[in-house]
Amino acid sequence: MERVFQALASTPRRKILAYLAHAELSAGDIAARFDMSKPAVSQHLSVLENAGLITSEKRGQFVFYRLLPDALANVLNGYVQEVCPVSRPLKAESRALADKREDQ
């Protein structure tokens, strides 16, 4: 959890996650969307990967990154439910909804 929150505490990294929400992208595709060097983006990617939020796969010359959406949802939902009393009663019900959806 520590690593997830640390990973999320950066605007460029949250932006990377938003890009990956819609599509798998190569390291270069991602770097092209930022006004910073490729090594800097590469470091952000490894922070996100070490936090378990994304995963990478090398195909030929490219390294493709994609989101691991469950990791993000689990940590954030889990945390908000632990800390916000109001959200606790919703926990069981929202999990039921999610489980139902996964079956489909």
- Contact residues toward DNA (CB under 7 A) are 6, 9-10, 12, 26-29, 31, 36-40, 42-47, 56, 58, 60-63
**Which residue, 39 or 85, is less far from a second copy as judged by CB?**
85
Binding at 26: pick from DNA, a second copy, none (beta carbon under 5-8 Å per type): DNA
Least distance in angstroms from the C-beta of 61 to a second copy: 28
**Which residue, 20 or 41, is less far from a second copy as judged by CB?**
20
Closest C-alpha to 53, from 98, 95, 18, 96? 18
Separation of first and last alpha carbons in the chain: 29
Closest C-alpha to 36, from 49, 45, 48? 45
Closest C-alpha to 2, from 73, 77, 79, 69? 79
Sign (positive/negative) of CA torsion 51, 41, 59, 20?
positive
The residue ranges that bind a second copy (CB under 8 A) are: 2, 5-6, 8-11, 14, 17-18, 21-22, 67, 69-70, 72-73, 76-77, 79-80, 82-87, 89-90, 93-94, 97-98, 101
